[in-house]
Amino acid sequence: MTKINTVYTGSLRTEAVHELSGTKIITDAPLDNHGKGESFSPTDLLATALGSCMLTIMGISSEAYGYNIDGTTVETEKIMGTNPRRVVEVKITFNFPKDREFTPQQKRAIEASARTCPVANSLHPDLKKTIVFNY
User: pLDDT at position 36, please?
Assistant: 92
At CA 62, angle to CA 19 and CA 94, rounded to 5?
A: 80
pLDDT digit string (tens) for 14-29? 999 999 999 999 999 9
Kindly list the structural domains of the chain, giving each domain's residue range(s) and its CATH number in brackets, ordered by start. 4-33 (no CATH), 42-134 (3.30.300.20)
Q: Give 73's strand partners.
A: 95
- For residue 127, the model assigns a pLDDT of 97
Q: What is the mean pLDDT of the chain?
A: 96
DSSP string computed for 114-133: HHT-HHHHHS-TTSEEEEEE
Q: Determine the pLDDT at residue 10.
A: 97
**In this predicted model, what pLDDT tens digit does every residue of 44-95 receive, in sequence order?**
999 999 999 999 999 999 999 999 999 999 999 999 999 999 999 999 999 9
